[in-house]
């Protein structure tokens, strides 16, 4: 595994980081977003979705669990929020494991996943004083080589 840490000064910096990340995502990539409530997981996911789809009004999938989008290049993009998942059986119904093969998948609260996909970028967000965030990036699979590009 490969890792690095970035500090983002504010929401605008987090959104810019999300756009940079989006430009590097490929089919079969999973981005696993961890952090406490309010750490910025949904903000980062929305920035990635906006960059890839042009969608600006992106709802949080807290209650629907998964929102599906199509990127400008026709790749399916799934945004999952697993906060309310209590049983592993619920995950099978969501179709995430199938999507890991050929879609771009953003997962908030990935600790609910029993199995993590091979090509994954794990992002752990931590709040800093003010509006800042510390972002710890850990790459597995193809992300070990690609991590320095983000």
pLDDT digits (tens, 9 = 90+) for 107-147: 999 998 888 888 899 999 999 988 899 999 999 998 998 88
Do residues 80 and 96 lie in contact, with contact meaning Cβ atoms separated by under 8 Å? yes
Measure the CA–CA gap between 147 and 22, rounded to whole angstroms: 13
User: What is the chain's mean pLDDT, rounded?
Assistant: 89
Q: How far is CA 126 from CA 36, 112, 114, 146, in A?
A: 7, 19, 23, 22
Higher pLDDT among residues 62 and 118, named by residue: 118
In tens, the pLDDT along 18-42 reads 999 999 999 999 999 999 988 889 9
The C-alpha atoms of residue 119 and residue 115 are separated, in whole angstroms, by: 12
Cα-Cα-Cα-Cα dihedral sign, residues 64, 68, 69, 71? positive
Distance CA 24, CA 131 (A): 26
Record: fold of 2-83+117-149: Rossmann fold (3.40.50)
pTM score over 0.85: yes
CB atoms inside a 10 Å sphere around CB 93: 9
Domain boundaries, the chain: 2-83+117-149
Of 30-34, 64-68, 87-91, 143-147, minimum mean pLDDT range: 87-91
């Amino acid at each position: 595994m490969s890792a690095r840490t970035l500090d983002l000064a504010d929401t605008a910096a987090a959104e810019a980081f999300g756009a940079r990340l989006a430009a590097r995502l490929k089919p079969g990539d999973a981005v696993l977003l961890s952090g406490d409530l309010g750490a910025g997981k949904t903000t980062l996911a929305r920035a990635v979705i906006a960059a890839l789809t042009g969608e600006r009004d992106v709802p949080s999938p807290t209650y629907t669990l998964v929102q599906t989008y199509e990127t400008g290049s026709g790749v399916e993009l799934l945004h999952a929020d697993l906060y309310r998942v209590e049983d592993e059986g619920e995950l099978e119904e969501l179709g995430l494991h199938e999507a890991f093969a050929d879609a771009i998948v953003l997962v908030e609260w990935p600790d609910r996943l029993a199995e993590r996909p091979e090509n994954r970028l794990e992002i752990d967000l931590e709040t800093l004083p003010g509006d800042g965030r510390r972002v710890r990036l850990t790459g597995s699979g193809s992300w070990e080589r690609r991590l320095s590009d983000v």
